[in-house]
Each structure stands twice: as C-alpha cells, then as structure tokens.
Chain A
Amino acid sequence: MFSRTTLARALALPIEHSSARSASTTFRACLHQATSTTTTTTSQPEAPLSATPRAQSSIPIQQPRFLTSSNTVPLTRADVPVTKQPVAPTFDAPLKVSQSLLDLLPNLTSQKPHFITAHLHDRPYLLTAGDQLRLPFLMPKVKSGDILRFNRASVLGSRDFTLKGGAQYLDERMFECRVRVMGFESEPLRITEKTKRRRRHVQKVTSKHRYTILRVMDVKVKTAEELLEAGAVVVESADSDANVELKA
C-alpha cells in the first residue's frame, strides 16, 4: 500500500534505466546534473505503479550528451571534492562483458543472499536486503516513503562469489539495489564544554545532527540472460566492465 503522497512523488520522479535506452540516457543525464546532491536515482517499484505515466512534472531540458567513460566527472558543485562528485552514467556504449563473466555469473546469481558495497558520496556501505541504513546527513528533496535506487557499487557478492568492478564502480546496469526512505532522525543533543586558560568561563557548544533513515528493499544481481537481453556485448576479458571471482 502506498500513500497518496508517495505515489505522487514517485510519479514526479524519473525513469527506470532499463526502459528505452537512447531516449532515457540524455534525460537521466540531465536529472543527474539537476539534482546532483545525491548519487542515487529514484525509480519505481514493480507492477502496480509502473502502469501509470511517468515524469509528469519534470521539465525535459536539452543537455549536451555525456562524454564517455574516460571518466569525465561533471563538476556540478564546486565546493565538493572531485572524488565525491556524482558520476555521470556511462550509457553511450552498451555494457561490455567477457565470456568468462557470462560463464561464472550464474553461480553468483543463483547463490543467495547477496551483499553489496554501495557508495554514496564516496562512502561505502555494506548492505544486504532488509538492512537499515542511517546516512550521516540529511538528504534533501526526499520524503519518507520514497524509493531510491543506488547506482554506485564497488563490490557485489554472495557466500562464495564476488563481482568486482576493478578500478571503477560496477556498471549500474548489472545490479539493482533499491532503498526506501523511512524518515529522519536526530541524535540526542550534544553539549561540548569549551574552556580557555585563566578564565572562569565555560562555553557550551551544542550540536544536534539530523540523519536520513533508509531501508534496503532488495539487492539483486542481474542474470546473464537479462544482461544479454538488455544489449550487453561480449568482448575480450581485458575490456570487461566487471569480473566474477571465487572467494579465496
């Protein structure tokens, strides 16, 4: 059951990337730039909502196409260090997978449960389905009940197998990790006492940070068939976007 507000917000927000690629790429790109505060994209859950029209209130802005993956970081916020900038989706080229990845991927997908090391603002969070995640900041422009999709991950694994992206993040077309915004919490008031020498005065500094509470809805690795169906290209193993390894 979804509340009315949740539904309304879900409708106002973008687009599943698995839908028509060429059209959605540039659109998603501009969404990333417009709301660059998070590296996540919001998307919708399964059947009941997806039948309704999407992106009603979003204004389609024509943006220049992204440069490809030689990793040009869009400098949308000058005050944020380069490593923490949101990374542009590299959707210009189809996903590249090696034959060995395709051979080993069924082992990983069939072995449940899975964990994921999702990155948000360049911080890693090791998550499994059902976990509660307390972000160390107040996420702007979200409401409780919203669903976000994490699209940056470095490691994805099961008990015996690991999918690694190497130097870069894993390609976001290889997995799905959705989280729900549960609400906003704060810590108890912190009072720090500050003193100067030879002065009988104690300065009391208070702080009360606010946090975003998220709940991991699912962690799903896409199967080899789903990847090939979505247009993945089989290449030499050196060019592959990710590799499955057996746990040492």
Chain B
Amino acid sequence: MPVQGIRTVTAARNGVGAFILQCKRLDFHYCDWAGSSRGMVAYLKHHLPAFAKANPQIEIRVSPRPHKHPVIKGHYINGREKAVCVRNLEPEQIVQKTNLLKQASGEKLKRTKKPVTSLNESVRGIWSPYHGGLKSV
C-alpha cells in the first residue's frame, strides 16, 4: 500500500482569528564612512530604539556594510525578502520606508483587478438550468 499524505482540512487564513504580522525580521545595513549613510546612521541612533520597542515581534539586526549604500531588508514569513535602498535619505524618510516594510505582506507585487479574493464556495451555489424555476412550454 503506498504511503498517503495527510490531506489538509483547512487553509491558513491569517487575521480571521489571530493576527500575525508577516514581517519577521528587519536587517539594517549602513556604512560608517560614506556620506550616503548619514541619514541611516542618524536613524539608527535616534529612531530605531523606539521602533524596536514598539514592535517586539520583529527581530532587528543592525550590521555595517562598508563601501556600500545603506539598505533595509525585510524578511517575511512566506520566505521572501524585500530590500529597500535608503541612500541619501533623511531619517524621517527612512521611518516611512521601515513602516512600509513592516506592513507589507511579503508577497510579490501583483496587479489585480478584482477587489475580493475568496477561498469559500459560492454561498448561492452554481446556477443550473435543470433545477428550480423550470418553465414549461
């Protein structure tokens, strides 16, 4: 008898019951020497501690990356990562970028035309010509 996998009964839908933020880790890279990191260094000094305190569920790593532009990388539960280059940005702009990474879902950006995506079956059922409201000729 072949080995059979266990069939999934439910699909995971974050937010219906509990809500888990999709961003699990943020990496901050900076350079001590280069001028494009000036805003980033100021951000790390003045804004990051408060951000880290307000978001205990996000792991935060800060590491130097010499001779390169500063980068923020977000790592997400679905395994993807999203990187934003923050060269020559002011600390306030970096705050916005960090919020963007924090609130993203980690999915690849897609253009969708329908506003609602549903896993549920249709409530009303599928229309059938043989059932209900039959017209006799």
Contacts and interface: CB of A to CB of B under 8 A. Distances in A.
Interface of A: 1-6, 113-115, 125-136, 143-145, 157-159, 180, 182-188, 190, 213, 215-217, 247-248
Contacts of A113: 120, 123
Nearest to B108: A188
A231 to B, nearest CB: 30
A186 B105 CA distance: 10
B115 A133 contact: yes
A143 B103 CA distance: 8
Given A129-B120, A131-B117, A247-B124, A213 B105 contact: yes
Interface residues of B, number: 33
Nearest to A131: B118
A134 B115 contact: yes
Given A4-B56, A183-B105, A125 B115 contact: yes
A157 B103 contact: no
A125 B15 contact: no
Contacts of B14: 182, 215
Contacts of A129: 16, 120
Closest 8 CB pairs of A and B: A215-B15, A180-B15, A183-B103, A115-B123, A131-B118, A188-B109, A144-B103, A132-B117
Contacts of B110: 187-188
A46 to B, nearest CB: 11
B22 interface: yes
Contacts of B118: 128, 130-132
Contacts of B100: 184
Interface string B101-116: 0111101011110011
